[in-house]
Chains A and B, each alone.
Chain A
């Protein structure tokens, strides 16, 4: 029996009939065609599917689409505004925080959650916050630098405003 869900994704409202077993990640990827959110495992271990649900980093490969009914969702596609990259997106580019790019959206969404509640993290804070996200390419060194870069950017931004 399909169920109707209503969700707001990147500021746009959607309403769809979905199978109860449909995972949120497949709803985003196959129904809404927002393919920036990736599936790397089936066990919430790799973090490639991390998005924000009601402002909180969530691994959506183990969340059902029906559980997202009524939720506000942000995916990697919704992170930049008016064509301006989010400081984390800029940081990953500036610091070579990505190689194949597959883990990158999840890594950025997790880091964005960290910076929301800890705007000036230490290296250790960042490593701890990202320990639920696998990267097989970078060895994490430049990812840590990317997040430090973004934190610095956000601080400058706060001073200016």
Chain B
């Protein structure tokens, strides 16, 4: 297919105008006729029996329309988990009910006990304060490793040892142990990959209404996947026919994973809207977001990497306790397993790998996918081990990686790379990104500067991270075999209007990724038309046939491929129409730059004229239907595997322990690039979320299960003056198995950056003679200072 050159260009975003002028349309901006407002009564305790709930006084308050408690929903299902993982012995994971309102006991601070609906938000707030809840506090458990100890309090009375499941992957442990025993050097790291709060700046917001005439519900939701919410809510929670629910995700102010999941409030508001016959709206306050939006990470891990005398990795052994919080969130079970264990090959030829994961319930907020989801945890583990091993073995960390990289392969001439942990990488040139990174950095100079700094009593360090991730989620048959309860294809519908203008309906959802631009570039390029002549429609289950939404860096690799399939069908049909007009055979028609031409002649007809003919079929092939409108579904053949190299240079203040980032170099290979400006922006944002984990962020629970930093006053996130400008570059190794050759760019930055920063700090400390193996993230001044002075 010939193109008009829009693919690969840094086109300015078409969606920007509404956002920069204040005309975005987020869920909380919507007020429906006869709107009502909901406020929740939530548990102040992490673990407590509910003795009684008295709503009588509250019901008499001004403006109150209804109050519901767990007792009103006793016969309603809870929200489901979308991925089944089995115990090592084959038993099904423990999957206790996650009710819309709790009736028996609260299992984390913020668990919802009652919903109060009133004419105004203020009236609902006042009435919620008048609901009296009597509770008996129970001992709680916060830490995953402690939760499985005998005698630990049980989050769910019917889940022994708080274990949802245990799970293993890779080579038999005996083989890994034997290889480890033979190793010339073993680097061991025991560490915590701390719990993070995603913190999209737009709080979650829902507005649900019911029309008694059509018996149809409409739910506006700040979700990354409106169709998935509709499916889960209708089929698993409320038992409503799917065609009686319209779910709309309008503009959504960031997701980062936290808006994938089907939350209890979505189903509850929908249920309430029918009960009261009026629209019900709820927007999370920031502290509610901290307590309820699914958190990320929270692994306690012991990892060992064995090397032979030449520095080749011979074995990797990993034991992880994954904290899943109080309930199984939608995709929580696959994050520490199939998105973490499967990535432990990294970029290296490690011949023996075993990973063992125990997934645990605690009295904390549920944990699920947060930008990167499992892959940052795997990358952190591997990359910390690599840099630490280099320090221990007095080797250069870059050289150690070159020694262990899987050699380049394109997935076409050379086959994909089969890992020890179930995946087959599609294509890669891993040494390429490290070489480029070293060049951009001026590695020798930086090491010289580090030495000079050390001579002057300053602590400068260089940290590396060469990562790989699995994106383009995901081939349905493969994930189905692994326990996923959904298909992970995508739909793409391309409607050519009679005037040749094009509307595209995609099941992917943009909440910052710029699909309205990138997808339009693809379509305009392939059809040889102007960008302005393409409109991208997303986020509405009544307009878009079906969709699995946006997460796992899948939108372009999966959703874009579905659109390409429809474009191919349009061109094929267009050739038949053109052939008829040009009195030629369809086989002789070529399509290029927006024109259908009879091969070897100057006889041609434009795309617009063919479109018009399809809808005004006066002179038209006899056996052809009118119209130019195709819908396609695309199920990927494999995951895609973006990779890259991140290098950080930091300085640690000896007196205070404060870390300053001096430079940050990122070379990312995300396959072919449609819009380099947007890809670079994704990398910047991703890198900063990784830096956030390394230096600033972390959910802090006290022993009573209170989240002590549940506000923006207390939870530290990167601000503009914490960061340098970034030095970024691309390498392109196309994906061999999708039509655009793209791999996905949404999570790469976050996956790569955290270990580079921590490695750089550790390197800085070693340069000053402090042989520290690990500092628990976030690397605050206090923690770094203590590490230097202990």
Contacts and interface: CB of A to CB of B under 8 A. Distances in A.
Answer whether A and B are interacting partners: yes
Interface of A: 19, 21, 29-30, 33-43, 45-46, 48, 75-77, 79-80, 85, 89, 92-94, 96, 98-105, 108, 123-124, 126-128, 130-144
B21 A80 contact: yes
Given A127-B720, A127-B721, A136-B685, A45 B20 contact: no
Interface stretch (B102-110, B148-156, B251-259, B473-481): B251-259
B24 A102 contact: yes
Contact of B22 (A43, A75, A99, A134): A75
B21 A136 contact: no
Nearest to A88: B20
B285 interface: yes
A135 B29 CA distance: 20
Contact of B20 (A85, A99, A126, A138): A85
A99 to B, nearest CB: 4
A89 B18 CA distance: 11
A36 B21 contact: yes
Given A43-B713, A96-B681, A139 B723 contact: yes
B201 A136 contact: yes
Nearest to B255: A100
B700 to A, nearest CB: 17
Interface string B7-51: 000001101111111111110110100000000000000000000
B240 interface: no
Interface string B681-703: 11011111100000000000000
A37 B21 CA distance: 10
Contacts of A144: 720, 725
A89 B20 CA distance: 6
Nearest to A21: B122
Contact of B24 (A21, A33, A36): A36
B512 interface: yes
A48 B12 CA distance: 23
Given A75-B22, A138-B688, 13 more contacts: A30-B31, A33-B31, A34-B22, A37-B22, A93-B13, A94-B12, A100-B201, A102-B253, A131-B721, A139-B686, A139-B723, A140-B688, A141-B725
Contacts, number: 181
Contacts of A45: 711-713
B564 to A, nearest CB: 24
B684 A136 contact: no
A101 B26 CA distance: 10
Contacts of A37: 22
A142 B512 contact: no
Given A37-B22, A101-B253, A102-B24, A142 B711 contact: no
Given A43-B712, A96-B681, A98-B16, A38 B202 contact: yes
Contacts of A126: 720
B20 A92 contact: yes
9 contacts: A35-B24, A42-B286, A79-B22, A100-B512, A131-B720, A135-B201, A137-B512, A138-B684, A142-B684
Interface of B: 12-13, 15-26, 28-29, 31, 122, 199-203, 251-254, 256, 283, 285-287, 511-514, 677-678, 680-682, 684-689, 711-713, 717-721, 723, 725-726, 749
Contacts of B28: 35, 39
A140 B689 CA distance: 11
Per CB-CB distance, the 7 closest pairs between chain A and chain B, nearest first, are A36-B22, A102-B253, A101-B19, A100-B512, A45-B712, A139-B688, A76-B22
Given A139-B687, A142-B681, A99 B512 contact: yes
Given A100-B511, A101-B512, A48 B16 contact: no
A55 B497 CA distance: 48
Nearest to B16: A93
Contacts of B18: 101
Given A40-B203, A46-B201, A29 B29 contact: yes
A1 B410 CA distance: 73
Contacts of B725: 123, 141, 144
A104 B19 CA distance: 7
Given A127-B720, A136-B254, A77 B684 contact: no
Nearest to A77: B22
Contacts of B686: 139
B677 A96 contact: yes
A136 B199 contact: yes
Contacts of B723: 127, 139-141
Nearest to B688: A139
Contacts of A138: 681, 684-685, 688
A62 to B, nearest CB: 12
A104 B720 contact: no
Given A36-B22, A93-B12, A134 B719 contact: yes
B512 A139 contact: no
Contacts of B12: 93-94, 96
A107 B404 CA distance: 45
A102 B687 contact: no
Nearest to A99: B512
A80 B23 CA distance: 12
B681 A99 contact: yes
Looking at B19, B286, B678, the one whose CB has the most chain A CB atoms below 10 A away is: B19
A89 B21 contact: yes
Contacts of B25: 35
Contacts of A141: 684, 723, 725-726
B718 to A, nearest CB: 8
A36 to B, nearest CB: 2
Contacts of A105: 19-20, 22
A138 B145 CA distance: 35
Contacts of A135: 201, 720
A92 B16 contact: yes
Contacts of A142: 681, 684
Contacts of A134: 201, 712, 717, 719
A143 B726 CA distance: 13
A46 B104 CA distance: 37
B310 to A, nearest CB: 39
A14 B29 CA distance: 20
A127 B16 CA distance: 22
B285 A42 contact: yes
A21 to B, nearest CB: 7
B19 A137 contact: no
B16 A139 contact: no
A43 B22 CA distance: 22
Nearest to B675: A96
Contacts of A92: 16, 20
A48 B712 CA distance: 12
B378 to A, nearest CB: 22
A1 B252 CA distance: 37
Contact of B254 (A80, A131, A132, A137): A137
Contacts of B688: 138-140
Given A30-B31, A141-B725, A100 B202 contact: yes
B200 to A, nearest CB: 6
B20 A93 contact: yes
A34 B26 CA distance: 12
Contacts of A100: 200-202, 251-254, 511-512
B128 to A, nearest CB: 15
Looking at B18, B200, B514, B681, the one whose CB has the most chain A CB atoms below 10 A away is: B681
Contacts of A77: 21-23
A142 to B, nearest CB: 6
A40 B685 contact: no
Looking at A35, A76, A144, the one whose CB has the most chain B CB atoms below 10 A away is: A35
A134 B197 CA distance: 14
Contact of A38 (B253, B718, B726): B253
A93 B678 CA distance: 12
